[in-house]
Every structure is written in C-alpha cells, then in structure tokens.
Structure 1
C-alpha cells in the first residue's frame, strides 16, 4: 500500500517539475529580419535595343528556283556580309556577223558567186565613209562642170564628138590609182575627160568593183542663143542612176553638148 502511494507521489512530482521547466525556461528571441531595401530607381537617357536579326532558313524539302544556280552559303552573323550569288538567266542573243563590208573588200558570199538571197551588190572602196561618193555618179556630174570651161567646144564641129571608154581603177581606200581613155574620141572629148578626172580625182569613192568602165557618147548640136546675161554657160546638168546617166551643158553662143554615160 505504501509502495503504491510513494510511486504515485514520485510520478506526480516529476510531472510538476517537467511542466515548471517548460513554463519558466528562458526563451531565445527569433532573429530580426533585415529591413527591406528600397527599389532601385533608374535615371538618365533611355534607349531602345535593336531587335535581333532573324534569318529565314530554307525548307529542307524546298526545290531550288530555276533561275538560281548553286546553294547559298550559310549566314554567319560574325562574318562580313557577302554579296548574293549571281543570277544566271538566258544568254543574250549574239549580234549577227553580217554587217557592212570592210573598206575595199566585197562580201565573201557575193564575191565568190555563192547562192543566197538577192540584194544590192557589195561595194568597193571607201565603204562607210560619209564623204565617199559613187564613182560613176561623180564622174557624170563633174563632166559638164569641167568641160564647159574648155574653149575647145566653141569651135568643135556640130554632130558626133566621138565615143570613149573610160576605165577607172580604185584602191582599197577608194582613191583613183589608174585611168585609161580608149576608143575613138574627138580631141574635145579627150580634153573633157581629162578635165573631169582632174576635178574629181582627189576625192574618195565607192564603186561596184575595183575597176569601173564607163562608155561615153558625145554630140554637139545647135541651140538657141540666150540673152547673154548668164555668161558663157547658161545651162548645165548631169545625173546617173542604175547603170546609165546623162550630162549636158549649153553655151551662150548657141551650142549644146550632150554626153550619154553607160556603165559596162
């Protein structure tokens, strides 16, 4: 009985001591939290950052454009900018080699007699020069200018003044290098041909070939006397077209000289 009482007292005493220790034990204060720092304030100039470059990557299954040949190089941000690859299109058509013949030479096809499309014959001499004149035309127009000043026509008999074949040879630059007067011309006609050649010889010409042969037929006829106000020569003219031409001059004394020119 006593033992049980003593045990109960001991347990009760231990419980009170434990409760007193818990209640009266010193409390350790919790560490104080640091004061809140104020939020930083931004001051100064504002600026915008550029947006990052975006590169469109080609699709793996996309077919290349027919105009672009080759694979474009990968875009490297740190490497210097490279020019885009050249675009290869259809080649431009080449100009035709058929042009005007070079000076002093005929076109190969026409010179060799090759068959081809019909066209004007190739020229020889100063081809392409603006100052160059047709040889037959220049001779026909120059004849009355040069011959009308020759006094021999004042006394030439009426009627035929003879016929002559004038052979003219050109070099590649279009200048006359050789002249021949053939046939049975009168002295007046021979003198007129020489005066005409002296008048035109310094020019450059073009012709249908290196050698040009002109057949002349001259005649002297009576003409009405004018009023004498136009000097010794009151009419003059000359023209050449195709392979034929005519020239004339009329003197105030009543004479008219006509020359027919035909290319042979």
Structure 2
C-alpha cells in the first residue's frame, strides 16, 4: 500500500478499452513530460482547457481539443481539468482516417466548437456512470466525429467471430497467427487478410490492445500489477509498463480509479 500511495498520479477516472483503442477519462492532476507514443491521441476538454506543446513549438498552447499523430514528441498538461483522452491504433480504419485528415501535422488543434461537439455525448455518459460498453461506444463515436465516418466494417464473418473468442480465451499464452488460422480452418494468408478486413487492424495490434485492456481491467478489480500482467500475456509488470508507455506515453499505474460522476 505504501508504494501505491507514493506512485505518481497523472489522473483520476476510468480506463476503458476495445481492440484498436481506449479512452482514459477523468481529472488530469499532473503534467506529462516530453514523450512520444505509437497511438494517435485525441484529447477533449470536458470543462476547462488544457496545455499542449509539440517538439517544435516555442511555447505551450492552451486549447480544448487536439489530435496528436503517431510517434510525435509532445508535452501535455491537463491543468486539473476533466478530459477525455482517446487513443487510436494508427493502422486501424479510424486511425487511417485521422492520419489522412491531419496529414503533415504533428498535432492538430480542434476548434472549441468541434471539441465540444465531439465530446459532449461521451461527457454525459461519463457523468451518468454509464457501463463500460456504453462508454466505449460513445468514445468511438467521438473518434468518428473527428475523423469523418470511416468506411464501415463489413458484416461479421463467423470465422473471425470464432477467432476472436479463441483469442480472448488464450490472452495469457503465446499466440501465433498460424495457430489461430488453423483453429478456424483458414490458411494463414487468408486469415490475415480476412482479419484485417473484419477488424480494421492487424492480429498483432489487436492482441496488444486486448492484452492491455485485460491487464488494466484485472488491476482495477484488485489484482496486483504483476498478477494482471501475467494474466494478460505479459512477462511481468515491468513488461506491461514498458508496453503501455510505448503505446500511450504513461504507465497504467498513474491512473487511479474513481466512481464516475463524483468530484
């Protein structure tokens, strides 16, 4: 318990994930120093604004909405505000749409009006203590408002539905594409193509997001980060933390869970 009290806290709120993305929503209590991460970052103010500074900017800018492109160095200061930060896998369908809109920019600045319109329904669900599945739906809606409406996924293919169930049951174990393909009676090449077409992302990226989602969920249910890491297919808590920092730019232990809608 002593270690938990002493760890740095970046924010208080909820973390909700889905394959290809996640939303970290709540109050941001500390500045996050210069960093870069693989995921596209959308941050939307739910009350007061926040500060962002890209690597080439002489000073930080105050804003209510940003889109940070993959692997771009930046500093982020939530200024104690309530913020929805959504991370998007760059190679997903929605990630590609965001990269197309903000091509040539390290950080896209949204107008106050666009930021408000993108986050207001998600904000309302957060204040209403909506279930995780509902929060994920509205977070993805916010992405689509900013990215445009990326091409909808084709109708579910029963083989990919079965593959996803097979994968979820084995997240704690090493997984090879050939084994998943064999489980649903497809060749590796055909499975790879169909998986991307159905999910909008690669198997490797899907597994990364699914494992991190499982780890955070397990930790928030009371398990230690070491236990959560092992249950999710990571070697140990350090491996989980390194992966999370690479993708998100911060450690999962820097977020403290809080009842939704309470100050």
TM-score (norm 1): 0.20
Larger RCO (CA within 8 A; separation ≥ 6): 2
Higher-helix-fraction structure: 2
Structure index of larger Rg: 1
TM-score (norm 2): 0.20
Higher-strand-fraction structure: 1
